Structure 1
Amino acid sequence: MADPAVTPDPALTLIASMLAQQEGVISRCQAHACGLTDNDLRRLRRRRLLTSVHTGIYVDHTGPRTWDQRAWAAVLAYWPAALAGESARRAVAGTRRTGRGDDDAIHLVVDRHRHLYPDEGIVIRRSAHLRNSCLWNTSPPRQRIEYVALELAATAQSDVDAVAHLADALGARITTPERLAAALAHRERFARRAFLTGIIDDLCAGTCSTLEHGYFTRVERAHRLPPAKRQFRESLKGSLYRDVYYEDQALLVELDGRLDHSSTRDRDRDHERDLDAAATDRLTLRLGWGQVFDRSCATAMRIAAGLQARGWNGSPRRCPACPASLAVPLRG
């Protein structure tokens, strides 16, 4: 943008530098700080060198706006504000990693005492931890990734999706279990708090006890499967521990609680196929978060069928959460 008739060269230089830093977006307050007047801004708009985006927010072209420009415009329009949730995640990971489009809503976080009525395409939530939960020196400012991961996990449709959000952050090496734990400790009221605390504690300790305990309570005990040996030690190829071993039926259950950024959901589908193979007299079942926490009843019935195929004379029972349509394998 260059218009010597409007403003002196030093102001032009400041404006050009700010536009370059902010994807071509600038606020009225910033323009004033650079030396422009309201008359200057009106003149620039008439000459189509600036276009209004929100009240007091301008972009330096007249064409379609990119997602980055929409993000900057939203942050400046509701300043002090920062990108939150999916928008903060996209700012870190980029379009390819999130699969989001340029027309998606911009999510912002502001101080809890503010009452705002956002424009269309902007979603605002309030936070009591705005100052400490955001990175104000990023472009544009955004929530810290550990807060983003926790909030996406808390609002996920299922427990396995919640785990996947933590996996995304950890697998991309943009946060650590310790930072997740510290961020969660600052939030007094939080959905899925106990579940997420257990997972993060396990990650900090390098274990998967949350998944193991979930299998015992939600799958085995709730559906009255036969008792199994746990952390069973065998030494066929050196010292090796098996998670769950139904010795009489020669059936092993391995609980895979790894959080791998690139394949969390793909492995979940693989575990489903492993379960389907149980009724065809295979030896080992490998379960993940989805089988234990999202589909524990269906998991129990398929494991029961596998145990029966190997000689178990019992039958599983329904738990209060079992859907009426779920078939219970009966010993013939």
Structure 2
Amino acid sequence: MWERARRELGGFGRGLPSDDADELSWVLFRQEDVLSAGQARRFLSEKAVRHRVVTGRWRQVHRGIYVTHSGPVGRAQLHWVAVLAAGPAAVLAGLTAAQAWGLRRYESAAVHLLLPARHQARSLPPWVRLHRTTLLPDEDVLAVGQPPRTMPARSLIDAAQWASTDDEARAVIAAGFQQRLVGGDDLHRVLDRLPRARRRELIRVTATDAAGGAHSLAEIDFLNLVRRAGLPEPSRQAIRRDAKGRRRYLDVWFAQWRVHVEIDGGQHLDPRTAWADMQRQNDLWASGDRVLRFPAWAIHHNPQAVVAQLRAALRSAGWPG
């Protein structure tokens, strides 16, 4: 849908306006060369606006919204088209806002907007998804910066609410912690203000586990597997020192029995990453720890074998079972 929007509408290189630039130039700079008809009328006559459109200097990309150049339209400009089309109360939200905060590897095919329920909706481009809320306190919205968007914790919670599946919702929450957009009780504080949030308990539990150190979705799924099997509760992302005194982070660590579990995602296929993992594993084995390794796919597709091997390792290490 992003590509469709970009094809329909046309980034575009923009320099900082000069010191003597007029107010219109600064508005266009702040808004990525996107302008509403109302804003245009503050600076130009109807005839002047029409002339710019007819001559191709400007394009009307949606009702009452102009892009003031003839080049291709980038993602940042699409955000402005969406916000200006929806009206001054609308803010970027969900995955769109989370991406603006730096979330990676979770692309949204649409621009997600959040609008207070009391505000009337306007005509929007087909690639915009408008969501309504009765609860949008000031602390959930970025106070400075443009375009307006929800804060990271609210963005992730809304993305999880609007996700098509529970697994997608959990993955987004885990990624927010893993990529350090949020931490600690950030999501819990927002959830306290949203008593009727969709998937509220799922988001709460996922955020609790992620804040406790199980940052990846595979680690969270492993933790749930351990609990369902009645195995002891491990530590997540525990810090150990290797033989050379370097800090090492363990995915899962059963400290009392010195059983360490590594959960391998796709990044472990890289030779340099694999060698670093081997060195860490060798240091742990050399000091007497038991080290188990499971690929992320086994957590989801062969959980019985994972639990059986983990139970056997814990019993061999002295866990009474």
TM-score (norm 1): 0.61
In structure 2, relative to structure 1, the CA distance for the partners of 1:50 and 1:131 (3 Å cut) is farther
Gapped regions of structure 1 (runs ≥ 5) = 1-11, 222-227, 257-262, 271-282, 313-332
Q: Would you say 1:106 and 2:106 are equivalent positions?
A: no
Q: Which residue of 1 aligns with 2:224?
A: 214
Task: Say which is worse superposed, 117-126 or 68-77, in terms of deviation.
Answer: 117-126
Q: Which residue of 1 aligns with 2:51?
A: 43
**Structure 1 residue 152, shift from structure 2 partner:** 2.6
Q: Would you say 1:304 and 2:308 are equivalent positions?
A: yes
CA distance in 1, matches of 2:315, 2:114: 57
CA distance in 1, matches of 2:314, 2:198: 41
Q: Which residue of 2 aligns with 1:151?
A: 158
In structure 2, relative to structure 1, the CA distance for the partners of 1:107 and 1:309 (3 Å cut) is closer
Q: Which residue of 2 aligns with 1:175?
A: 182
Q: Which residue of 1 aligns with 2:93?
A: 84
Q: Map of 1:1-332 to 2, 5 A cutoff?
A: 13-33=22-42, 35-79=43-87, 80-93=89-102, 97-98=104-105, 100=107, 104-113=109-118, 114-132=120-138, 133-156=140-163, 161-202=168-209, 214-218=224-228, 220-221=229-230, 243=254, 252=259, 254=261, 266=267, 284-286=291-293, 295=300, 298-304=302-308
Q: Deviations over 1:293-330 (max 9, x none)?
A: xx3x8312443377689999xxxxxxxxxxxxxxxxxx
> Which letter maps to 2:111?
I
Task: Say which is worse superposed, 151-160 or 68-77, in terms of deviation.
Answer: 151-160
**Structure 1 residue 13, shift from structure 2 partner:** 1.2
CA distance in 1, matches of 2:293, 2:167: 15
**Structure 1 residue 148, shift from structure 2 partner:** 1.5
CA distance in 2, matches of 1:62, 1:42: 15
Task: Say which is worse superposed, 137-146 or 17-26, in terms of deviation.
Answer: 137-146
In structure 2, relative to structure 1, the CA distance for the partners of 1:266 and 1:117 (3 Å cut) is farther
Q: Which residue of 1 aligns with 2:8?
A: none
CA distance in 2, matches of 1:111, 1:31: 26
CA distance in 2, matches of 1:207, 1:65: 39
In structure 2, relative to structure 1, the CA distance for the partners of 1:195 and 1:285 (3 Å cut) is farther
**Structure 1 residue 146, shift from structure 2 partner:** 0.8
> Which letter maps to 1:304?
A
> Which letter maps to 2:94?
G
CA distance in 2, matches of 1:118, 1:90: 21
Q: Secondary structure of 2:145's match?
A: coil
Q: Secondary structure of 2:195's match?
A: coil
CA distance in 2, matches of 1:203, 1:310: 24
Indicate if the aligned counterparts of 2:259 and 2:314 stay in contact, CA closer than 8 A.
no
Q: What RMSD over aligned residues (CA atoms) do the two structures have, in Å?
A: 4.4
Q: Secondary structure of 2:60's match?
A: strand
Q: Which residue of 2 aligns with 1:328?
A: none
Gapped regions of structure 2 (runs ≥ 5) = 1-20, 236-241, 243-251, 274-289, 317-321
Q: Deviations over 1:229-279 (max 9, x none)?
A: 6669xxxx9xxx95398x9xxx947487xxxxxx97747xx9xxxxxxxxx
CA distance in 2, matches of 1:137, 1:192: 30
TM-score (norm 2): 0.63
- Equivalent pairs, count: 259
Indicate if the aligned counterparts of 1:231 and 1:242 stay in contact, CA closer than 8 A.
yes
Q: Which residue of 1 aligns with 2:247?
A: none
CA distance in 2, matches of 1:203, 1:309: 25
Q: Deviations over 1:145-172 (max 9, x none)?
A: 1111122334456666544423433344
> Which letter maps to 1:193?
R
CA distance in 1, matches of 2:191, 2:162: 14
Indicate if the aligned counterparts of 1:83 and 1:107 stay in contact, CA closer than 8 A.
yes
Q: Secondary structure of 1:76's match?
A: helix
Indicate if the aligned counterparts of 2:98 and 2:152 stay in contact, CA closer than 8 A.
yes
Q: Secondary structure of 1:142's match?
A: coil
CA distance in 1, matches of 2:114, 2:233: 45
**Structure 1 residue 76, shift from structure 2 partner:** 0.5
Indicate if the aligned counterparts of 2:161 and 2:199 stay in contact, CA closer than 8 A.
yes
CA distance in 1, matches of 2:232, 2:291: 14
